Amino acid sequence: MSDVVHIGMLGCGTVGQGVVRILQETAGTIERATGHRLEITKVLVRDLQADRPGVDPALLTADPEEILGDDSIDILIEVMGGVDPTHEWLVRALGHGTSVVTANKQLLARHGPELLAAAEEGGAELRFEASVCAAIPVIKVLRESLLAAEIESVTGIVNGTTNYILSEMRRTGMSYADALTQAQEIGYAEADPTDDVGGADAAAKMAILASIAFHTRVLIDDVPYSGIDDLMSDDVDIAHELGFVMKLLGVARLVDGAVSVRVHPALVPGNHPLAAVAGADNAVLLESSMVRQIMLSGPGAGGTETASAVVSDALSILGSRPGSFLAGALVDAGRPIAPEGSLESAFYLRLEVADQPGVLARVSSVLGDSGVSILTVLQRGEGEGARLVMILHRSPEAQVREATRRLAAMPEVRAEPVVITVVGSGEASS
Ligand SMILES: NC(=O)c1ccc[n+]([C@@H]2O[C@H](COP(=O)([O-])OP(=O)(O)OC[C@H]3O[C@@H](n4cnc5c(N)ncnc54)[C@H](OP(=O)(O)O)[C@@H]3O)[C@@H](O)[C@H]2O)c1
């Protein structure tokens, strides 16, 4: 690579404009530190006329061939998003030996292995720190600092929108719908929040983290997920009363040598490190018997924060010359994906029941028949009915789901039971 490094960019929106600004503002520092001058050659956009403060209009093009067909480009920065045509364009660039930096979690969670194979074939690098938790350097830590640490679990709050909504529901007692509206008003949630509140965004990020942590190809289809859209503020309040905090968690762990990755609402004990992560922040807790616990936390989104991770990735490419282990493809240990329902955990169970004598005994007996025992019970009158909230002892998830199906069929049970995983207490899964 010559002293001048030619950068092509796909996209110049929130993140892309941040990249342009950072490269301009830190050009001197970068040159002193690396000996290279990073020069943007061309930037692909759709609308050439849109307002992009600080971006030289002469750099813009609406023709992807001007970038993909330019052999002088050393590093391609992809900040346009979307799976198609981005996928095809990046495979082509990598295959021709152009290193790529991307912030695109949905693309990586669907086509990561194929992109890495194209990089290996073309002798190029693929870097994607910004795709998970924006400025928090979790991928670099997993891929480099903890490469040999035999990570056993990765537990993350990897979606800022949902963490903000849950924090506000707890702090103010407001409903889910009101907290979502507030998040949209202040720009923490998109106009269409489906991917965030439904768990798909977190699932994509957890697929990427699990792939790196466990040296195994995990795609978004391997990650069952559920979101926070049908949580009641009562669940958040009762959890608090019981000493827990409600979070949307991504949980990736090794179970008998297989990889299990899921995203779901979960209760964490009030003194757990993840319980203190409030507002739109993200955090990832990495656990291994070698390093015990390492938690990384900070802003998980934002144009400048994400752009900073993109620029750092471009600099890492400069720092890892061909032949260095950082330049190679990721390690592949070929672990299997664990079947759903195989995990053991403690659970929170909420039942709306008829206020009749003996209901609690009948519920306990259904649970007992399925091999599930109760740790704590809270009972409250609710008009004609009663609400039973239980923390269940650690049991295999499949057993708890079976017991819940049987409870739902009881005539005294008036609504679909709510089951939420408890993570990180002595009673929770390992
Ligand atoms: N924003 C964040 O906080 C954040 C955080 C983490 C990761 N990311 C990821 O970063 C990437 C970019 O996000 P963003 O928020 O910067 O998006 P954005 O503001 O919507 O910008 C997208 C840019 O890509 C261009 N573009 C999109 N599709 C194109 C196409 N088919 N051909 C040519 N140009 C195209 C757009 O052109 P026009 O300007 O002409 O419309 C725009 O400049 C996404 O993968 C996102 O998931 C974002």
Q: What is the pLDDT of residue 287?
A: 97
β-sheet bridge partners, residue 388: 351, 379
More confident residue, 329 or 360: 360
Question: Ligand 1 within 6 A of 50 CB?
Answer: yes
Determine the atom of ligand 1 nearest the C-alpha atom of 47. Answer: 40
Superfamily covering domain 344-422: ACT domain (3.30.70.260)
For residues 29-33, average pLDDT: 91
Within 8 A by CB and 6+ apart from 25, the residues are none
What band does 330 get if pLDDT is binned at 50, 70 and 90?
Answer: low
Whole-angstrom distance, CA of residue 421 vs CA of residue 244 = 11
127-157 pLDDT tens trace: 999 999 999 999 999 998 998 899 999 999 9
Whether residue 424 is predicted with pLDDT greater than 90 in this model: the reply is no
Residue 1 CA, ligand 1 centroid: distance in Å: 28
Q: How far is the CA of 45 from the centre of ligand 1 (A)?
A: 9
User: Which one-letter amino acid corresponds to residue 281?
Assistant: D
> Rounded to two decimals, what is the model's pTM?
0.91
Instruction: Calculate the alpha carbon distances from 181 to 166, 329, 379 in Å.
Output: 13, 43, 32
Q: What is the pLDDT of residues 267-321, one digit of tens each?
A: 999 999 999 999 999 999 999 999 999 999 999 889 999 999 999 999 999 887 5
CATH of domain 138-299: 3.30.360.10
Tell me the CA–centroid distance for residue 97 and ligand 1, in Å: 24
- Overall fold of domain 4-136+305-327: Rossmann fold (3.40.50)
Contact by Cβ (8 Å): 77, 53: no
Average pLDDT over residues 160-176: 95
Give me the mean pLDDT over the 159-176 stretch. 95
50-55's contacts with Cβ under 8 Å and 24+ in sequence apart are 52/12, 52/17, 53/17, 54/17, 54/20, 54/21, 54/24, 55/12, 55/17, 55/20
pLDDT tens profile 240-268: 999 999 999 999 999 999 999 999 999 99
**Strand pairing report for 385-396 and 418-422:** unpaired
Tell me how far apart the alpha carbons of residues 44 and 63 are, in angstroms, rounded to a whole number.
Answer: 7
DSSP class per residue in 247-297? EEEEEEEEETTEEEEEEEEEEEETTSGGGG--TTEEEEEEEETTTEEEEEE
Q: List the domain boundaries for the chain.
A: 4-136+305-327, 138-299, 344-422
pLDDT of residue 422: 95
Q: pLDDT by residue (tens digit) across 353-385? A: 998 889 999 999 999 999 999 999 999 887 788
